[in-house]
Chains A and B, each alone.
Chain A
Amino acid sequence: MDEVKVIEIKKSVFADNDKAAEKLRKELKQKGVYLLNVMSSPGSGKTTTLIQTINRIKDRVRVAVMEADIDSDVDAVKIKEATGIPSIQLHTGGMCHLDAEMTRQGLDNVGMEAVDLVILENVGNLVCPAEFDTGSCRNVMILSVPEGDDKALKYPLMFSVCDVVLVNKTDVLPYFDFDMEKCSKNIHARNSQAKIIPISAKTGEGVGAFADWLLREVMRWKGR
């Protein structure tokens, strides 16, 4: 039996995950639950942005948060303390992203019957989370001013998969060589459909615009 046999596969490594994500999205639609996937690099202000946003909408819709991290539960605790809404921690077991199956397990823990909106705070990373569809209805990416206006050029895939880019920490704009116009141009070169909202999670500036967008999205998803 020295004979060599080749079995052709020709299949994308992401195909199974894409299928699982599509299935999850259908189920979310059926149950009227909106899943928002939030991605960014570490330290861009994801958790603070979420706290500010949730406090503006929690009286209108039932919200829960899933925090994905490689380890620890500091973010989940912080969200729960600052907003009073249910917040669970997902551990990726060393992996740098969440896939649709892990997201599904998280949603089962949250209990889809009890919520209208689930916000998934993905692992802080601009490469891997962009490749794995979580099954979310929309993807939001947070880019903070100190990271620079050229980020879209360095991480093209992330910017091509996100529907909204929040440009955070606008309160420190005077101290950085950050050109908002250049930043928008770079983002739109990758993704002409991306909606850009400048915010400061610290002062609250612009967060209302994002909260309004999110509320409209949830209502549309639920068919109201």
Chain B
Amino acid sequence: MHELGIVFYIIKDVKQVAEEHHVEHVSTVVMDIGEVSTVVPHLLTDCWRWAADKEDMLRGCEMKVNIIRAVTWCDNCKKEYETVKFGKTCPHCNSGNTWLLRGNEVEINSIII
């Protein structure tokens, strides 16, 4: 449900970058979204469609989403594992002394003109 709020932030950033580069229309926005970022990709692109079409610079502009796989690091056994499958507990040694390496990104990767 926060996807619309996030879209408003993306629009603000994209418009700013486009203006700095004297671009009149953006054709694609590429996002990097982590698996455990709590952002739901299809809701993000739905909200994007609704909001982007209200902006001259972004009318019809497509949003592409790269999913970033979530990986957790175990400080106990110094190994990596898949966050979505195993959560907070390391599957190698059962330790809870773990932290997320990547997978919580909500980033604008690039825009295509």
Give the Cβ gap from A180 to chain B, nearest Cβ, in Å.
19
Q: How many residues from B make CB contacts under 8 Å with A?
A: 29
Chain A residue with the shortest CB-CB distance to B98: A189
A residues near B113, Cβ cutoff 8 Å: 4-7
A25 on the B face (CB < 8 A): no
By secondary structure, the A interface counts as mixed
Contacts of B14 in A (CB 8 A): 9
A4 touches B112 (CB 8 A): yes
In the complex, A7 Cα to B104 Cα: how many Å? 23
CB neighbours (8 Å) of A12 from chain B are 105-107
- Indicate if A163 sits at the interface (CB-CB under 8 A): no
B9 touches A13 (CB 8 A): yes
Contact B110 A6 (CB under 8 A): yes
Q: Are B12 and A16 within 8 A (Cβ)?
A: yes
Given the known inter-chain contacts A95-B4, A131-B38, please indicate yes or no for A13 contacting B110, CB distance below 8 A.
Answer: no
CB distance from A10 to the nearest CB of B (A): 6
Give the top 3 A-B pairs by smallest Cβ distance, nearest first: A128-B2, A5-B113, A9-B108
B-binding residues in A (CB < 8 A): 4-14, 16-17, 94-97, 99, 125, 127-128, 131-132, 153, 156-157, 189-190
Contacts A9-B109, A127-B1 given; 11 further ones with Cβ under 8 A?
A: A7-B18, A7-B111, A7-B113, A8-B110, A9-B108, A9-B111, A10-B107, A12-B105, A127-B38, A128-B1, A131-B2
